[in-house]
Structure 1
Amino acid sequence: MNRAYSEFASVYDELMADIPYDIYTELIQLAAGGLDGKKILDIGCGTGLLSVKLAKMGANVTGIDISPEMITVAKQRAYAHSLPIIFVEQPMQHLEGFEEYDVAVIPIDSLNYVVERDEVISTLTKVYNALKAGGVLLFDVHSTFKTDEIFMEGPFTFDNGRISYIWEAEEGDKPHSVYSELAFFVRNADGLYKRFDEVHLQRTFSVQDYVEMLENIGFSIERIFSDWEDEPPHEESERIFYQVCK
């Protein structure tokens, strides 16, 4: 059975500790021309880390995610910070019920979990419809170099003393797709380990493909950059960012 982000929600924050969410917040702030009072849609919000950071800076945030476990953690986080963030359990390719947003963000390669081209187009179209005129979409995806080369260098292992995993990746059936099986071992308070498994399928597209999809929908390309730097993508870039405007 294809399962992703179920029990993983309990260890997600610890494993994502290296993601520079503060830089992501700055990128959104720059794209939006400030955050105070802005209406922001955080798509693929996960455990709400980014949503909370944006709300703390005065944004009115709505987060959506397909995983009920992730949404539960996100709601708990917002409650702990006394922040009025709305969280909705919904697949991004079925996005509905949102309109007149100043900014939409699909962070940390969340869009790569939508593997069919027509569903990527549907997702981006629904985001376009959720934005007000002049609204901005910012998202990042894996590069084709990362899916085709770096992920194929596995298996990968991790151990921080509490959490260990073995991650085996192989080429998926579709171009630039990756099928991953992860076995997690989490140490409990009694010193015993609990195992759970996750299966993930991701797919990306070339820069040219994304630009074509975005422009056909009606977006204007504002900038494309890579790897958290204000530099254009190159052949060994790993993460590509797109900032586009309605």
Structure 2
Amino acid sequence: MSGYNAFAEVYDKLTDNIEYKKRADYVSALFDRYGVRGKEPILDLACGTGSLTIELAKLGYDMIGVDSAYAMLSQAQNKKYEENADVLFLCQDMTELDLYGTISGAVCMLDSLNHLDSAEDVKRTIEKVGLFMEHGGIFIFDVNTIYKHREILGNNTFVYDCDDVYCVWQNSLNDDDSVDISLDIFEQEDGAYYRSGEEFSERAYPIEQYKKWLSDAGFEILHIYDEMSDRELNDQTQRAVFVARYKNRR
């Protein structure tokens, strides 16, 4: 995975359209539906700049945010102090997750699992979550679907013009349905634009493959939703939301 250093500096500006409070409410409703209440220890895996982590902390969860990018966590720590949020942020690769105790739930949102370098890394990450999950704990994660990679991201180019940041997002679809992404980022400062760049890839897998990885790691799939809704997964779902319960006894 990339270090996302250049991306971290502008990530919040480029994702200003993401309603983190609304997403936190959605996740909280799912936790409540499947038996995880507030004050429980919850892991936010690949937490990025910490926006969702902090919103969940405001709802009463005992939050741990984990990300492998120092630059992202630096932004998260700044938000933590600004919001006076009680959150523990840890810099770890999600494939090597190592917590100090067990958790009652975990989230991994905004297609973070798609950013892992291989299918084996996704499998290993799910196993790691299970390793620290209490019996009956709930794992909620979303993934970009193969449909989205083929039909939406594809070989398309997107342009974002956000105040003092301009970004050209170029995609290249591969035969295995992975997408190589190249970002050209221009930041305005003192009347001049400064250019930086970032390159990374996303990989999409069949829904049945995620089901197998979950089952092999000791999880029971409770439901798969269309993103940010109670709608069933369908053949045009762009982002699938998995809800799974850890059923292995230690």
Normalised to the residue count of structure 2, the TM-score between the two structures is: 0.92
The SS at the match of 2:235 is: coil
The SS at the match of 1:241 is: strand
- 1:201 corresponds in structure 2 to 201
The SS at the match of 2:212 is: helix
Displacement after TM superposition at 1:146 (Å): 0.9
Equivalent pair of 1:32/1:102 in contact (CA under 8 Å): no
Further displaced range: 96-105 or 56-65: 96-105
Question: Cα deviation per residue 1:167-226 (whole Å; 9 max; x = unaligned)?
Answer: 1111246x22110111011111x1111110000111011111111111122111111011
- 1:147 corresponds in structure 2 to 149
Equivalent pair of 2:155/2:170 in contact (CA under 8 Å): no
Residue 27 (structure 2) pairs with residue 28 (structure 1): yes
Mark the runs of 5 or more structure 2 residues left unpaired by the alignment: none
Residue 219 (structure 2) pairs with residue 219 (structure 1): yes
Displacement after TM superposition at 1:98 (Å): 4.3
How many equivalent residue pairs? 243
The SS at the match of 1:13 is: helix
Opposite residue 14 of structure 1, the aligned amino acid is K
Mark the runs of 5 or more structure 1 residues left unpaired by the alignment: none
Identity of aligned residues (%): 29
- 2:181 corresponds in structure 1 to 180
Opposite residue 183 of structure 2, the aligned amino acid is L
Q: After the TM superposition, which residues 1-246 of structure 1 pair with which residues of structure 2 at under 5 Å, given as runs? A: 3-33=2-32, 35-172=37-174, 175-188=176-189, 190-246=190-246
The SS at the match of 1:229 is: coil
The SS at the match of 1:180 is: strand
The SS at the match of 2:154 is: helix
Cα distance in 1 for residues equivalent to 2:86 and 2:151:
42
Runs of 4+ off more than 4 Å? none
Normalised to the residue count of structure 1, the TM-score between the two structures is: 0.93
Displacement after TM superposition at 1:59 (Å): 1.2
Structure 1's 55 and 35: CA in aligned 2 closer, same or farther, altered over 3 A?
A: farther
